Structure 1
């Protein structure tokens, strides 16, 4: 038999089974697990459950034919592995959404399923109150905005402030406000740490046994990951709102309807995933039913060009308060761009539209831009006699102004070089070109403004197919046909 040694005093349970399969001896740790000397039927390396704990069984053969069976307690290790796997699954579920409300809902559902009988997730307050998600185990979560008296819940105000860092706070259910909990035996408030700012509070409640220290520690680990997910969703939403508002201000405006003139525009940025770029158009109202129109192209593309576009549009709007003469306007804009750091030059064409008995009187002036095209109701296409130098690159610019009269059914088409320089066609390497555009417009006589810009936009889009392209902008000014009685 195995000699008596230190194995008898080992905290690790051990049993000696003789060659006949009977229990020969046990150490003290094994006796507490097996009060009756019943020979177990184990296999080397398997995991067995004894007294609600998990043990890995290892066999060591002795010289006399007996075997010593060692039981290594792996309960805590298995629990940690299970919790680590659970945290991994939870993290995956949390990162699936970048919507703060949805993210709070996922946090509440996961916590109710694995941590507590009832869960509240409370985010920092907004103008309309605290976002609050509540979930009871086995029930769907609810979300609401409510004004929470955070001082009525011990530790909640500190947790929502996030500084100084605070540990989990235990709350006596007897003094908890009615809106928080009913008929619970244990409440713990855990911080949800975010990206530099608190993401909120996780409140866990149980109706039976209290939380153990290990469960509380696990809850803090879960809360740290949940806070990061909620914070990321909130930051993404904030950035999306800011981007949407800035983009809305950088995009060409929706054009109003006027009694004496039809206006229509189309815009397409160079990148399929971008909404803004360097092309722009605007329409401003002047006294006596006149309109001031401007279309232009900032050097470059993408966000940098869009930022410059915003500056140019703002400058034009400001200058119109003091000057409407085209030459003076373009010279003032040239000086503004020359004195602005990191500015880009632009090409632009401006026009003043005035109703007259014959239809519309349109005055056009170019600052280095492509000349507008006049599409007569008959189908004839004329090129406006405008020319000029680039704006924002030379100390002085030279401009030339043309005046045209649009009879009912006639249109004036302003466009950027993204249309004529659109590269595509049968072989994918040919520019659409000014001549092809003019020929296409001969079939557009008498078209309403909306139909005209849509037609030009579609021609260019079909020409480039799926290829790369520059920003494209089109603006049509049309003299409405007179109604016959």
Structure 2
């Protein structure tokens, strides 16, 4: 309609009458303007193409000049000028007749004089029924509307009237703001304005209700320009396509994608369950709870049958409301669910279920649980879904999804979506559960292999820290130990098995046991590491023959380990240490200066190729020794050199205690989640006072035994230890007699008063005595047996110039 008015305005004419008469179609091929005297005043290009007359030959001539011959032709022209459509013959410029259908539209020229717009259409282009197009538009089932430049409705299809609940007459002349909800109005009107300005069609989506009682849907809106022949946009056409199902399908796919991307980001059961609850509330439900079988948290695999009351532990919950006010229990609490409750039935059947709160099963549940019934009424809960969490054939728990803010209840499609979410989340939860179980098993194994408590000794004051790795690789093979040695000495040990997993922990346990065994033999540090290296090589050879039985879940260790073995003597205040590819110990002297001990480098255990060397140095009393594994000083936060520099600075800071020193080092050098195991052992050295040690050089003469006994009794009297005098006299007598009889000079007797009374007899031979049972008539052979019976511990240690036989006698009221 707007195109025809534009064409008339182009000729300087204005419409006449009420406007109820329809104007010509924009696609009409030929038009002419005829004044009241029948003179042609304007001639279109379409008319020129139809009859062949150029405009300059026609304008100003009577319209009769264009007619063919015959009375019927004149009658057709008069009928057309009278307002009736008629068929007649016109004369082409070349003389041939052209049959057309004429229709005239009355109008006024620019001076108000009457004229007519005559439209000629070839008969073959005229539809058989001009009402067909009108009927097609009016009866179109799609919502389509036409708006003018004032954004007021001009036309509407049957689909639009059905969706809006208004007739076309009720909608005509009304703006979008009077027909649609506000948030939809803004989007639609803004789109129409842009089309009027740009002339380009636009497409966008809106979501909402077309009328209050309708269901919320998603519409694809297309706004298209309607142009005049001159190209001016006079109207816009607005069409709406219901794409709710397609939109919901995309939302479901997006939600499943979110589940895959966001659920299971860690191997923590609680966090994984919380991630599922967060995703479900964001895209599907208003309130979600996730409960797992309580037995899972105690390492108990669930049984396939569920009967009676079932205990479920709340691991996660989420709501669209702040603070999750719909919850009746808190995360971590255990709740008892009756057998008839939908969650228990879901666990028993393994199938999801969809409920309205008016369902019998839900009503029975509410009757059995008045507190939940009150929540249902208070928040207007109207529908819920119960989803089993099953993975690898094991039922882990159940998820309950609730709606109360969303007015539309859950449908079967929602149930299928929730079931898929539950299946994916259950696998992630089960992965986290299995990882947690394996990690706890490995951690329990490793902690059982580490010192449960440090043995009593007086040589050093110690503090330690052990931090297992917080990565999916699992636990490593770091360990430490404090081993009391003979002569009041102590061995400090730190080691690291390369790799992670149960295999690394088991290997660590074997090495720690071997170190304790070798330390009891009182081997020098370098010899101890040599024997330990042989053990690692032996273990690696055994493993090479059984690789096919190794678990796929364990990280390979390659059976390479490092170890640092340090022996401190509080009598001489000297340290002896040997390293097998391990970071050097740090020493803080009494002036507060920290430095690293430059030990001779040794190869890691299991590599071989180079010997181990022992390095000795003297430490003043009160010095600080720090032994550690490489996880402390080397990682993603810093390299080895930087880590060692940080360690030295931390150790130089004044601290109230060794525990404070450990905390400072850990907090400074390690992130919150260390990627590798860390073992730290800190020891402050002590020194025995000269008054606690007595030493005598003895001649290789049996007569010297009596003198040695007398010296010992005198010393014990000075130490006020008369209660152990008899035992000490007996032990010293037997050890000195054996040294004189079977050993060589020099012979030395030493008493050390520590937590126990230590008796040591040294001689120049390396032959070690052996405990044996003497026969009835043997005159000798009972000395060491007596020593073993009266002493708390005894043994032999070898050194460069011979050996030392020692025995420890328990002091009254003290335990080692």
TM over 0.5: yes
Deviates more, 1:2-11 or 1:146-155: 2-11
Does residue 306 of structure 2 align to residue 176 of structure 1?
A: no
Distance (whole Å) between structure 1 residues aligned to residue 495 and residue 518 of structure 2: 19
Match runs of 1:78-477 below 5 Å:
78-79=247-248, 100-101=269-270, 104=273, 108=277, 115=284, 119-125=288-294, 126-127=296-297, 130-132=312-314, 133=316, 138=321, 140-141=323-324, 142-146=330-334, 148-149=336-337, 151-154=339-342, 156=344, 159=347, 166-168=351-353, 170=355, 172-176=361-365, 178-179=368-369, 181-182=372-373, 184=376, 186-192=383-389, 200-205=397-402, 210-220=409-419, 223=422, 227=426, 230=429, 234=433, 241=440, 258=457, 260-264=458-462, 281-285=480-484, 293-295=491-493, 309-317=508-516, 324-326=521-523, 333-341=532-540, 342-344=558-560, 349=565, 351=567, 359=571, 409=621, 477=685
Distance (whole Å) between structure 1 residues aligned to residue 224 and residue 293 of structure 2: 57
Distance (whole Å) between structure 2 residues aligned to residue 92 and residue 220 of structure 1: 17
SS in 1 for 2:142: coil
Distance (whole Å) between structure 2 residues aligned to residue 275 and residue 244 of structure 1: 9
Retained in 1: the 8 A contact 2:264–2:275?
Answer: no
Q: CA 1:251–1:86 in 2, change beyond 3 Å: closer, same or farther?
A: same
Retained in 1: the 8 A contact 2:628–2:680?
Answer: yes
Distance (whole Å) between structure 2 residues aligned to residue 2 and residue 67 of structure 1: 22
Distance (whole Å) between structure 1 residues aligned to residue 253 and residue 222 of structure 2: 24
Q: Match for 2:162 among 21, 32, 46?
A: 32
What residue is the counterpart of 2:686 in the other structure? 478
Retained in 2: the 8 A contact 1:261–1:477?
Answer: yes
Distance (whole Å) between structure 2 residues aligned to residue 301 and residue 105 of structure 1: 35
What residue is the counterpart of 1:464 in the other structure? none
Deviates more, 1:309-318 or 1:81-90: 81-90
Distance (whole Å) between structure 1 residues aligned to residue 537 and residue 641 of structure 2: 36
Shift in Å, 1:123: 1.7
Structure 2 runs not aligned, ≥5 long: 1-129, 177-191, 193-200, 299-310, 325-329, 377-381, 541-557, 592-596, 635-639, 670-677, 693-816
Q: Which has the higher helix share?
A: 2
Shift in Å, 1:316: 2.4
Distance (whole Å) between structure 1 residues aligned to residue 251 and residue 521 of structure 2: 74
1:275-329 deviation per Cα after TM superposition (whole angstroms, max 9, x unaligned): 998886422346x89565253666x866599755544213223566xx5242796
Distance (whole Å) between structure 1 residues aligned to residue 601 and residue 142 of structure 2: 95
Distance (whole Å) between structure 1 residues aligned to residue 348 and residue 257 of structure 2: 26
Retained in 2: the 8 A contact 1:280–1:309?
Answer: yes
Distance (whole Å) between structure 2 residues aligned to residue 339 and residue 78 of structure 1: 65
Q: CA 1:388–1:324 in 2, change beyond 3 Å: closer, same or farther?
A: farther
What residue is the counterpart of 2:240 in the other structure? 71
SS in 2 for 1:338: helix
Q: CA 1:218–1:362 in 2, change beyond 3 Å: closer, same or farther?
A: same
Retained in 2: the 8 A contact 1:263–1:449?
Answer: no
Retained in 2: the 8 A contact 1:268–1:472?
Answer: yes
Higher relative contact order (CA closer than 8 Å, sequence separation 6+):
1
1:66-105 deviation per Cα after TM superposition (whole angstroms, max 9, x unaligned): 9875432234445556666777788887678875445545
SS in 1 for 2:482: strand
Shift in Å, 1:6: 6.3
Structure 1 runs not aligned, ≥5 long: 423-427, 438-443, 462-469
Larger radius of gyration: 2
What residue is the counterpart of 2:102 in the other structure? none
Deviates more, 1:218-227 or 1:29-38: 218-227
Does residue 143 of structure 2 align to residue 13 of structure 1?
A: yes
Distance (whole Å) between structure 1 residues aligned to residue 628 and residue 205 of structure 2: 75
Total equivalences in the alignment: 430
Q: CA 1:174–1:316 in 2, change beyond 3 Å: closer, same or farther?
A: same
Retained in 1: the 8 A contact 2:143–2:156?
Answer: no
TM-score using structure 2 length: 0.38
Distance (whole Å) between structure 1 residues aligned to residue 621 and residue 416 of structure 2: 77
Retained in 2: the 8 A contact 1:16–1:66?
Answer: yes
SS in 2 for 1:143: coil
Aligned-residue RMSD, C-alpha: 6.5
Shift in Å, 1:211: 2.5
